[in-house]
Amino acid sequence: MILWNQEGKKQEREGRVARKGECEMVGLKKIGGETVGAGNYWNFKTGERVRIEGTGVLPGDASQTYYKASPAVILVAGPILGLAYAVFLPFIGIAMLLTVVSKKVFGGAVHTAQKGAAFSWKPSEAYLAGKKGRAKKAEKKTEDIKKE
């Protein structure tokens, strides 16, 4: 990643390319191993909260991302995100219903088309003794011959 220091000079880190001032522009997103000022830093992937008093280094490597936020902001964001989930949940249900119905309606046609296009060939199966249908046809032929 390319970070820009106070003087406007490039500093490369972990080979990842970033825009000028990407991490420092807002000051909220920090990366593991980065030296930061005092505050609360949250890793949303693991749910870990790191409190740094004074100046310190965030734990972890460059793959871990921390966001600087006070506990009050996190407590307010939780119900807002829950409300957004509750509002969009019916739309998710409608989309799932449409998916199930379309599979039931068009599934037979798709299955028939796939079966016709594949010519009943299944590469994971090896009919060394022949298929059951062929064996039954052969039995019928032998029975018909015996009857005559």
With H, G, I as helix, E, B as strand and everything else as coil, classify residue 25: coil
In this prediction, residues 12-21 reach a mean pLDDT of 46
Q: What is the pLDDT of residue 20?
A: 45
Rounded CA-CA distance 17/102 in Å is: 44
Q: Give burial (CB, 10 Å; 0-12/13-18/19+) of 66.
A: buried
Q: What distance, in Å, lies between the first and last C-alpha atoms of the chain?
A: 85
| Domain locations in the chain as residue ranges | 2-69
Give the residue with greater pLDDT, 78 vs 26.
Answer: 78
User: With bands split at pLDDT 50, 70 and 90, how would you rate the model's confidence at 125?
Assistant: confident
Q: Per-residue pLDDT for 9 more than 80?
A: no
pLDDT tens sequence across 50-67 = 999 988 999 988 889 998
